[in-house]
Each structure stands twice: as structure tokens, then as C-alpha cells.
């Protein structure tokens, strides 16, 4: 008896029991379901939730692979600064790849194992089918955290994100907050020392700091991000091309802007990601950056201010530092938590970009606010759509009065 037949036999054996959702999920993950409609279908389309999730994962895989190499590169470059003189030549090496796999792949494994286990448990308890919604969340989570985040912390955060961020609202398609960002928010507020500073972004920096504190005679490893450097009014050692290609410290998958742009084009071409949200988010960020540049140019704030460094950043540069671009492409466009109307998408995205740079500048202790901005606008997305719809209704009512007059 083949594997497919064995799974089908188990599926029929546990049909109607609490374990049925678990076997159904395993069966449909490996094979196409054999159920067919017995009456006329109202909508015929090639896309479904599983295919949509797979396309988003395909767009994220290049960021994951680059993040693996970058984890190794940042570690060795912190030990030997001469490697930064030729980043391209020293980036795609076996040493970087092996070390990157050793540090990044456990994050991916923990994210999927713990998250899917929570999904299966809720499906069995509540008696509904296992949904595919966590497939993308499980890939996003390892890409938006520091490389050395302890695995047990990640596991706790994933459970919190799945339970509080999604299941309490009814599961996939019912949540009002992006689950991946809910997980990141939990990590930030519960374990802030592991989510900020200049030690968490480079593999081994935290352990080296502990050795120094214990009296060991070793050199410290620093992995200060560009945002952290600007927040301290320090000069930045990375040039614009390093920022664009991604040869800089940061969260695992958020550094390479060129790969994020290619992912955005792929999602727009496949009609999975909303180009309105992506572009409006970037426009909002640029507008806020221009306002801060104007404040500096007018002399309203001096270089002694703790806000001067980030206010003085050229407005366009905000798009290639930090995670604003990653958030605009992969987070803000979440079809469940984003605005649904076309006009609402423009408003929703613009406010995300605007508020992200606002938080970035006025929170020097943690100069990255895109995840907080997106979560905030997740809450207000239904309100935005409500007023857009009410506005359309009023306009149509006025046109109707004119025609009948």
C-alpha cells in the first residue's frame, strides 16, 4: 500500500473525530484533495489560499538565502574589518554560508515547528480544518528578528502571536493584527535587550560581551546598525551601495533592498501584493523625511539635539536604511489586516510610511518604528474603509438626487 493510500485510510479512519483536522492537513499538504464540487461553481479561478501563500514564500526565499550569507559575513567582518573593503568578493563564501545556516536555519525550524504545532492544536480543539495562513508568517518571523535571538524566546513569542494575534479572533482571515508583527512586538516589549542595541545584530557579539564582562582578554564585537549610528549622531561607516545591496548589520532578511524591490515587483506582477499600499507607504515616508529635512534647513533644531542625526538624514535615504522597505512590501500588504478599498489603501499606506519615520526620529533608543506603525494602522484599517465607503455612498446619493431633480 502506497503512502497516499495509507494517508487516505487514516483520514477515513479518523473522519468525524477530533484528530480529523490533523490528518486532513497532512493529506492535503502532500497531495491534492480528491473532493470535487457536485453543483455549479459560482467563481472559477486558478488561485487559492495555498497558491497565494506559496507565491509570497517564493518572493521571500531570496531574502532568506541572502540573510544566511549575511549572517556569516557580518560575523567574520566584525572580527576582520579588512573584509569590508571588498564585500562582494568576501560575501558569497562557504564559510559565510555554513555559519549562516548554523544560525539562521534554527530560527526557521523553530518558527514553523512551534507555530504549526499551535495551529494543529487549535484545529483539533476547536474542530476546524488547519489553515494555511501560518505558511507565510512562519517564513516572515525569522527574517524580522536578530540573528542571535534565543530560540526559547522565539518559541514563546510565536505561541503568543498565533494564539493572541490570530486564533482568538477566529483564525486565518479573521485576525485584525499581522501575526508576524505581533510576534515581533511581543519580543520587543518582553525582551528589549535582545531586540535593540549594537550587539544583537551580529552573531557572537553578545557572547563576546559576556566573555569580556567575565574578564576574558578578547576584543569586543560591535554590530551597530545605520539607524543606531544616526540616532547617536555618529558618522556612518557604510556607503550607499552597501545599504542598497545589503552588506550591513540588521534583521536577517531586511538588509538587501535590491532583493526586496525584486520581491515587490514579483508580488505586484502576480497581483498578490497591492502596489497602491507599497507606493503610498514609500510616499508617506518620503514626505515625513522631507518635513524633517526642512526643519533642519530652517535651523529650528541644532546639531546638539538628540534628534538631529536622524532628522538630518536625506529624505530618500530613509528608504534604504532600516526596515521600511521590507515592511511596505511584505507586511503592510497583508490582505487580511490592510485596508480593502482602493482609496483606503492609499490612505492606509501613506499613514504607515509617515508614522514610521516619525517614530524612527523621535525614538532614538529604538530608531525603527515601521512595525509599530503597521500594527497601529492594522487597527484603524476598518475605520478607514468605513469612511471611504460612506463617502462613496454620499457621492452616489448626491448624483442620484441630481438625476431625479
Q: Are residues 152 and 241 in the same domain?
A: yes
What is the rounded average pLDDT of the residues 264-276? 93
Q: Are residues 315 and 179 in the same domain?
A: no
Which band of pLDDT confidence, cut at 50, 70 and 90, is reported for residue 195? confident
**Residue 57 counted as domain residue:** yes
Instruction: Look at residue 316 in the predicted model and tell me its pLDDT.
Output: 92
pLDDT digits (tens, 9 = 90+) for 233-250: 666 678 888 889 999 998
Distance of alpha carbon 258 from alpha carbon 245, whole angstroms: 6
Which band of pLDDT confidence, cut at 50, 70 and 90, is reported for residue 35? low
Integer angstrom CA distances of residue 223 from 75, 89, 132: 9, 20, 36
**Residue 200 counted as domain residue:** yes
Q: Are residues 131 and 262 in the same domain?
A: yes
Q: Are residues 351 and 394 in the same domain?
A: yes
**Residue 12 counted as domain residue:** no
Compute the CA torsion angle 99, 100, 102, 103 (nearest 10 deg).
120
Instruction: Please tell me the total count of domains within the chain.
Output: 2
Instruction: Look at residue 351 in the predicted model and tell me its pLDDT.
Output: 97
Domain span including residue 368: 274-398
Instruction: Look at residue 128 in the predicted model and tell me its pLDDT.
Output: 64
**Residue 164 counted as domain residue:** yes
Average pLDDT value for the chain: 84
Residue ending a domain, choose from 272, 306, 333? 272
Q: Are residues 361 and 282 in the same domain?
A: yes
Instruction: Look at residue 48 in the predicted model and tell me its pLDDT.
Output: 61
pLDDT digits (tens, 9 = 90+) for 300-343: 888 778 888 888 888 999 999 889 999 999 999 988 899 999 99
**Residue 120 counted as domain residue:** yes
Instruction: Look at residue 22 in the predicted model and tell me its pLDDT.
Output: 55
Q: Are residues 100 and 148 in the same domain?
A: yes
Q: Are residues 297 and 388 in the same domain?
A: yes
Residue ending a domain, choose from 223, 243, 272? 272
Instruction: Look at residue 17 in the predicted model and tell me its pLDDT.
Output: 56
Q: Are residues 216 and 89 in the same domain?
A: yes
Q: Are residues 211 and 318 in the same domain?
A: no
Residue ending a domain, choose from 208, 242, 272? 272
Distance of alpha carbon 334 from alpha carbon 185, whole angstroms: 17
Q: Are residues 146 and 201 in the same domain?
A: yes
pLDDT digits (tens, 9 = 90+) for 137-179: 999 999 999 999 999 999 999 999 988 888 888 777 778 899 9
Distance of alpha carbon 158 from alpha carbon 163, whole angstroms: 8
The C-alpha angle with vertex 199 and arms to 177 and 309, in degrees rounded to 5, equals: 75
The percentage of residues in the chain with a pLDDT greater than 90, rounded to a whole number, is 46
Q: Is the pLDDT of residue 30 over 60?
A: no
Q: Are residues 230 and 286 in the same domain?
A: no
Which band of pLDDT confidence, cut at 50, 70 and 90, is reported for residue 18? low
**Residue 204 counted as domain residue:** yes
**Residue 8 counted as domain residue:** no
3-state DSSP call for residue 382?
Answer: helix
DSSP state of 254: S
Which band of pLDDT confidence, cut at 50, 70 and 90, is reported for residue 269? very high
Q: Is the pLDDT of residue 377 over 90?
A: yes
Q: Are residues 84 and 177 in the same domain?
A: yes
**Residue 4 counted as domain residue:** no
N residues, the chain: 405
Amino acid at each position: 500500500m502506497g503512502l497516499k493510500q495509507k494517508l487516505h485510510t487514516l483520514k477515513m479512519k479518523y473522519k468525524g473525530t477530533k484528530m480529523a483536522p490533523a490528518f486532513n492537513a497532512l493529506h492535503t499538504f502532500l497531495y491534492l484533495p480528491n473532493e470535487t464540487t457536485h453543483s455549479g461553481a459560482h467563481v472559477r479561478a486558478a488561485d487559492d489560499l495555498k497558491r497565494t501563500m506559496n507565491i509570497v514564500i517564493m518572493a521571500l526565499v531570496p531574502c532568506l538565502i541572502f540573510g544566511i550569507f549575511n549572517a556569516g559575513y557580518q560575523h567574520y567582518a566584525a572580527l576582520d574589518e579588512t573584509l569590508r573593503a571588498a564585500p562582494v568578493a568576501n560575501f558569497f563564501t562557504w564559510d559565510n554560508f555554513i555559519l549562516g545556516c548554523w544560525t539562521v536555519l534554527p530560527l526557521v525550524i523553530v518558527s514553523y515547528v512551534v507555530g504549526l504545532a499551535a495551529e494543529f492544536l487549535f484545529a483539533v480543539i476547536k474542530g476546524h480544518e488547519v489553515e494555511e495562513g501560518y505558511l507565510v508568517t512562519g517564513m516572515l518571523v525569522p527574517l524580522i528578528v536578530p540573528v542571535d535571538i534565543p530560540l526559547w524566546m522565539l518559541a514563546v513569542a510565536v505561541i503568543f502571536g498565533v494564539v493572541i494575534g490570530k486564533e482568538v479572533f477566529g483564525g486565518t482571515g479573521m485576525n485584525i493584527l499581522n501575526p508576524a508583527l505581533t510576534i515581533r512586538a511581543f519580543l520587543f516589549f518582553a525582551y528589549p535587550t535582545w531586540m535593540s542595541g549594537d550587539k544583537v545584530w551580529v552573531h557572537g557579539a553578545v557572547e563576546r560581551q559576556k566573555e569580556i564582562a567575565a574578564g576574558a582578554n578578547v576584543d569586543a564585537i560591535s554590530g551597530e546598525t545605520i539607524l543606531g549610528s544616526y540616532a547617536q549622531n555618529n558618522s556612518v561607516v557604510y556607503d550607499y551601495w552597501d545599504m542598497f545591496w545589503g552588506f550591513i548589520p540588521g534583521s536577517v532578511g531586511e538588509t538587501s533592498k535590491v532583493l526586496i524591490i525584486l520581491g515587490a515587483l514579483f508580488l505586484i506582477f502576480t497581483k498578490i501584493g497591492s502596489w497602491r499600499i507599497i507606493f503610498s507607504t514609500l510616499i508617506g515616508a518620503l514626505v515625513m523625511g522631507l518635513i524633517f529635512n526642512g526643519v533642519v534647513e530652517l535651523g529650528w533644531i541644532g546639531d546638539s539635539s538628540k534628534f538631529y542625526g536622524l532628522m538630518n538624514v536625506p529624505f530618500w535615504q530613509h528608504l534604504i536604511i532600516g526596515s521600511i522597505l521590507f515592511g511596505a512590501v511584505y507586511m503592510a500588504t497583508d490582505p487580511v489586516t490592510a485596508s480593502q478599498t482602493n482609496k483606503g489603501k492609499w490612505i492606509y499606506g501613506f499613514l504607515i510610511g509617515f508614522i514610521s519615520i516619525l517614530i524612527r526620529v523621535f525614538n532614538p533608543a529604538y530608531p525603527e518604528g515601521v512595525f509599530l506603525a503597521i500594527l497601529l494602522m492594522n487597527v484603524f484599517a476598518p475605520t478607514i474603509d468605513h469612511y471611504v465607503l460612506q463617502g462613496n455612498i454620499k457621492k452616489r446619493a448626491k448624483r442620484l438626487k441630481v438625476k431625479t431633480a
